[in-house]
């Protein structure tokens, strides 16, 4: 097992390198960039997400505009001093060749030095830590809620397969899977957040303005009051997927020979179900828990964060891409990829923890 873990850890190195290299190359050919963004701000034509030029850029703007004509390849740079453009390039590191910038980025990322945001006076790490609580809240509660509902429901559907209970719950699950989370979020807002009907739940933030003044119980209730709608909207699709996965897994196990043998020995249905079937059937469901949590934590909350005005990692990544804030874009990509690779390894090891009969030593990576 240790040899398998070592091979998987070593395999992460070229995988991360490939992800970062492909992303870096794509960025080189993508239109726009931080230099163009500052030029657009100076020309009054910037339409990106809310951001501001860092201190160095502001100083340059004060002394650069008004120079002679330039043949710069930057869009909108006509009429700006070429020296000003050169200083902008140096400020963002674009005065160096692409391969050198990529090598410096990798060297810094290996040491977990992600630098500072181009358009915010804060380090990338501090920026991520600032947005982390929102994403942890959404990912953790969504995963817990979806599994708490889907596992018992999936087991019940497997036991009562083909009955009216299975039919109407399947209809609900399929509808829930078909409706996009953001569309359901809008429906919840219209119904319960003052859209057109009832004003029951708040529309923005994780806490109320007077949260610090509340008692401990009041803080907990206020927190749950704020996350009720976004968590419900996010859990819908995941709940449907996990329910069908649980049902199908249990059905496969119930039809196997060892279950028939256990019944012939006189064991009750409950003993058969939870003493024999449960462990084997839940293998694939529980082993997928780390991946499901990370998926919700990092990737599943962008639209929900936007709709409910929750300032988390999903919204941060989107705004950074729009603003061409490359340090934030590449740092979040690197961190998300690294965490994803580690979680995949944890998922494989979870299989062994649940069922020791599984041996990865004979498996080729």
In the predicted structure, residue 64 carries a pLDDT above the cut 80: no
Q: Which stretch of 13-27, 71-85, 92-106, 189-203 has the lowest confidence by average pLDDT? A: 71-85
* 92: pLDDT strictly greater than 90: no
- Position 145 scores a pLDDT of 83
Residue 131 has pLDDT above 50, yes or no: yes
Q: Quick one: pLDDT at residue 17?
A: 93
Domain boundaries, position 203: 125-322
Confidence (pLDDT) at 58: 37
- Does the pLDDT of residue 75 top 60, yes or no? no
Whether 180 and 36 share a structural domain: no
What's the mean pLDDT in 73-79? 55
Residue 14: per-residue pLDDT = 92
Return the structure tokens found at 80: 């700006």
In this structure, is residue 352 part of a structural domain? no
In a domain, 5, yes or no: no
- Residue 92 phi/psi, 5-degree rounding, is -95, 0
| pLDDT beyond 70 at 72 | no
Q: Which residue has the higher pLDDT, 82 or 339?
A: 339
| Residue ending a domain, choose from 61, 90, 123 | 123
- Lowest-pLDDT range, 5-19, 81-95, 222-236? 81-95
Min mean pLDDT across 59-63, 138-142, 190-194 is at: 59-63
CATH number of the domain that 180 lies in? 1.10.3720.10
Least confident of 68-72, 171-175, 273-277, 292-296: 68-72
Same domain for 137 and 118, yes or no, is no
Contact 234, 138 (CB under 8 A): yes
Helical packing angle, 82-92 and 34-43, nearest 10°: 140
What is the per-residue pLDDT for 354? 65
Answer whether residue 52 shows pLDDT above 70: no
Give yes or no for residue 23 having a pLDDT over 60: yes
Residue 362 lies in a domain: no
DSSP string, 187-236: HHHHHHBSSSS-B-S-SS-SS-TTGGGS-HHHHHHHHHHHHHHHHHHHHH
Highest-confidence range of 25-29, 45-49, 153-157, 301-305, by mean pLDDT? 153-157
68 has pLDDT over 50: no
Residue 289 lies in a domain: yes
pLDDT tier for residue 242 given thresholds of 50, 70 and 90: confident
What is the band of 269 on the pLDDT scale with cuts at 50, 70, 90? confident
What pLDDT does 253 receive? 83
Can you give the pLDDT at residue 60? 34
Question: Are 165 and 282 members of one domain?
Answer: yes
Q: What is the pLDDT of residues 313-332, one digit of tens each?
A: 878 888 888 888 888 889 98
Number of domains in the chain: 2
Mean predicted lDDT score pLDDT of the chain: 77
> Looking at residue 80, what is its pLDDT?
60
Considering the domain architecture, whether residues 113 and 138 belong to the same structural domain is answered as: no
Q: Could you tell me if 254 and 196 lie in one domain?
A: yes
360 in helix, strand or coil? Answer: coil
Q: Are residues 63 and 130 in the same domain?
A: no
Within a domain: 185: yes
> Does residue 167 carry a pLDDT above 70?
yes
- Do residues 176 and 238 both lie within one domain? yes
Q: Based on the domain organization, do 111 and 191 belong to the same domain?
A: no
Q: Are residues 246 and 162 in the same domain?
A: yes
The verdict on residue 3 lying in a domain is: no
Query: Residue with structure tokens 């002394």?
Result: 63
Q: Is residue 142 part of a domain?
A: yes
- What's the whole-number mean pLDDT along residues 221-231? 86
Identify whether residues 133 and 216 lie together within a single domain. Answer: yes
Most confident of 87-101, 257-271, 297-311: 257-271
Instruction: Measure the CA–CA gap between 201 and 221, rounded to whole angstroms.
Output: 12
Say whether both 80 and 228 belong to one domain: no
pLDDT at 259 over 50: yes
Domain stops at, among 80, 102, 123: 123
Indicate if the pLDDT at residue 90 is higher than 80. no
119 and 137 co-located in one domain: no
Last residue of a domain, one of 68, 98, 123: 123
Let me know if residue 364 belongs to a domain: no
**Average pLDDT of span 175-195:** 80
């Amino acid at each position: 097992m240790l040899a398998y873990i070592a091979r998987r850890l070593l395999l992460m190195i070229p995988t991360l390198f490939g992800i970062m290299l492909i992303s870096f190359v794509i960025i080189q050919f993508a239109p726009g960039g931080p230099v163009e963004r500052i030029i657009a701000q100076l020309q009054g034509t910037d339409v990106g997400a809310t951001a501001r030029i860092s201190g160095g850029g502001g100083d340059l703007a004060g002394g650069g505009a008004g120079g002679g004509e330039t043949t710069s390849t930057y869009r909108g740079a006509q009429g700006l001093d070429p020296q000003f453009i050169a200083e902008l390039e140096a400020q963002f590191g674009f005065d160096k060749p692409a391969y050198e910038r990529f090598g410096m980025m990798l060297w810094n990322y290996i040491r977990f030095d992600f630098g500072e945001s181009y358009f915010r006076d804060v380090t990338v790490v501090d920026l991520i830590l600032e947005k982390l609580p929102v994403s942890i809240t959404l990912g953790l509660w969504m995963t817990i809620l979806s599994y708490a509902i889907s596992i018992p429901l999936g087991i019940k559907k497997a036991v009562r397969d083909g009955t009216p209970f299975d039919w109407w719950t399947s209809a609900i699950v399929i509808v829930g899977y078909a409706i996009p989370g953001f569309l359901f979020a809008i429906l919840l807002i219209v119904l319960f957040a003052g859209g057109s009907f009832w004003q029951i739940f708040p529309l923005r933030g994780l806490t109320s303005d007077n949260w610090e003044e509340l008692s401990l119980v009041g803080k907990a209730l206020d927190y749950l009051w704020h996350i009720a709608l976004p968590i419900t909207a996010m859990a819908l699709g995941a709940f449907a997927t996990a329910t069908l996965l649980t049902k199908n897994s249990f059905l496969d196990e119930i039809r196997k020979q060892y279950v028939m043998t256990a019944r012939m020995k006189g064991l009750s249905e409950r003993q058969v179900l939870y003493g024999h079937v449960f462990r084997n059937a839940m293998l694939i469901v529980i082993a997928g828990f780390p991946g499901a949590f990370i998926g919700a934590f990092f990737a599943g909350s962008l639209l929900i964060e936007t709709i409910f005005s929750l300032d988390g990692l999903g919204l941060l990544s989107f705004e950074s891409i729009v603003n061409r804030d490359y340090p934030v874009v590449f740092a979040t990509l690197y961190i998300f990829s690294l965490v994803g690779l580690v979680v995949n390894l944890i998922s494989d090891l979870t299989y062994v923890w649940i069922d020791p009969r599984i041996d990865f030593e004979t498996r080729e990576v």
